[in-house]
Chain A
Amino acid sequence: MTDLTRRSLVKGGATLGAAAALTGSGLGDWAKAWAQAAPFKAEPKAQLNLMRWKRFVEAEDVQFMKLVAAFEQATGAKITVTNESYDDLQPKASVVANTGQGLDMVWGLYSLPHLFPQKCLDVTDVATYLGKAHGGWAASAEKYGKSGNKWICVPIATTGALINYRISSMEKAGFKEFPKDTAGMLELCKALKKNNTPAGFALGHASGDANGWLHWNLWAFGGNLVDANDKVVINSPETAKALEYCKQLYETFIPGTASWNDSSNNKAFVSGDLHCTNNGISIYVAAKKDRPDIAADMNHAYMPVGPVGKPTELHLSFPILTFNFTKYPNACKAFIAFMLDAANYNPWITAAQGYLSHFLGEYDSNPVWTADPKTTPYRDVSKRTLTPAGLGTLGEKAAAAVADFIVVDMFANYVTGREDLKGAMAGAERQAKRIYR
Chain B
Amino acid sequence: MVDVASTGMNHRPATGSQRSAWAKLSTSSGWLGFWYMVPAAGILILFLAYPLFLGVWMSFTDTRIGRPGEFVGLENYEWLQDDTVFWLSVFNTLLYTVVASGAKFVIGLYLALLMNHHLPFRSLIRALVLIPFIVPTVLSAIAFWWIFDSQYSIISWSLMKMGLITENINFLGDPNLARACVIFANIWRGVPFIAITLLAGLQTVSPSLYEAATLDGATRWQLFRYVTYPLLTPIIAIVMTFSVLFTFTDFQLIWAMTRGGPVNSTHLMATLSYQRAILSGHLGEGAAIATAMIPFLLAAIMFSWFGLQQRKWQHGGSND
Give chain A's interface residues, CB within 8 Å of chain B: 87, 90-91, 94-95, 97-98, 115-116, 118-119, 203-205, 254-261, 264, 267-268, 271, 273, 396, 399-401, 403-404, 409, 412-413, 416, 418, 427, 430-431, 434-435
Closest 7 CB pairs of A and B: A256-B150, A116-B66, A258-B262, A259-B172, A403-B280, A404-B280, A256-B173
Q: Which of B79-87, B125-133, B206-214 contacts A (4 or more CB under 8 A)?
A: B79-87
Q: In the complex the two chains form, is A255's CB within 8 Å of B281's CB?
A: no
By a beta-carbon cutoff of 8 Å, the part of chain B in contact with chain A is: 64-67, 79, 82-85, 149-152, 167-168, 170-175, 178, 258-265, 274-276, 278-283
| B169 → A minimal CB distance (Å) | 8
Q: Which residues of A contact B150 (CB under 8 A)?
A: 255-257, 259-260, 264
Complex CA distance for A261 and B142, rounded to whole angstroms: 13
| Contact among B172, B259, B265, B281 with A115 in the assembled complex (CB-CB below 8 Å) | B281
* Known contacts A98-B66, A118-B66; is-contact A431 B85 (Cβ 8 Å): yes
| Interfacial chain A residues near B275, Cβ < 8 Å | 403-404
Contact flag A416-B281 (CB < 8 Å), given A97-B66, A98-B65, A256-B172: no
- Chain B hits for A91, CB < 8 A: 274, 278-279
Task: Verify A261–B263 contact, CB threshold 8 A.
Answer: no
Q: How far is the CB of A80 from chain B (nearest CB, A)?
A: 22
Nearest residue (CB) in A for B264 is: A409
Indicate if the CB atoms of B279 and A416 lie closer than 8 Å: no
What are 18 A-to-B residue pairs whose CB atoms are below 8 Å? A97-B65, A97-B66, A116-B65, A116-B66, A116-B67, A204-B258, A204-B262, A205-B259, A256-B150, A256-B172, A259-B173, A260-B150, A261-B259, A271-B151, A273-B151, A403-B275, A403-B280, A427-B85
Q: Is the interface of B mostly helix, strand, loop or mixed?
A: loop
Chain A residues in 8 Å Cβ range of B152: 267, 271
Least CB distance from B64 to A in Å reads: 7
Indicate if the CB atoms of B262 and A412 lie closer than 8 Å.
Answer: yes
Tell me, in angstroms, the Cα distance from A282 to B309 when the chains sit together: 59
Would A259 and B261 count as touching, CB distance under 8 A? yes
Least Cβ–Cβ distance between A356 and chain B, in angstroms: 25
Complex interface: chain B residues within 8 A of A259 (CB): 150, 170-173, 178, 258, 261-262
Could you tell me if B65 and A94 are in contact, using CB atoms closer than 8 angstroms?
Answer: yes
Name the one of B82, B85, B170, B282 contacting A256, with C-beta atoms under 8 angstroms. B170
Chain A residue at smallest Cβ distance from B62: A437
**B residues within 8 A CB of A254?**
151
Q: Which residues of B contact A404 (CB under 8 A)?
A: 275-276, 279-280
Please measure, in the bound complex, the distance between the C-alpha atom of A400 and the C-alpha atom of B149, giving whole angstroms: 29
Say yes or no: A205 contacts B281, CB within 8 Å.
no
Residues of A within 8 A of B151 (CB): 254, 256, 264, 267-268, 271, 273
CB atoms of A416 and B175 under 8 A apart? yes
Q: Is the CB of B175 within 8 A of A205?
A: no
Instruction: Please indicate the chain B residues that have their CB under 8 angstroms from the CB of A412 in the complex.
Output: 261-263
B78 nearest CB across to chain A (Å): 11
Complex alpha-carbon distance, A427 and B172, angstroms: 23
The answer to whether A115 and B85 touch across the interface, beta carbons within 8 angstroms, is no
- Nearest CB in chain B: distance from A147 CB, A: 13
- In the bound complex, do residue B167 and residue A255 qualify as a contact, i.e. CB atoms below 8 Å apart? yes
Q: Tell whether, in the assembled complex, residue B262 and residue A416 are in contact, meaning their CB atoms are under 8 Å apart.
A: yes
Task: Chain A residues near B279: list those with CB within 8 A.
Answer: 90-91, 94, 403-404
Contacts A116-B67, A118-B66 known; A400 to B281 CB distance under 8 Å? yes
Closest A-chain residue to B174, C-beta based? A258
Q: How far is the CA of A271 from the CA of B168 in the complex (A)?
A: 15
Is B65 within 8 A of A115, CB to CB?
yes
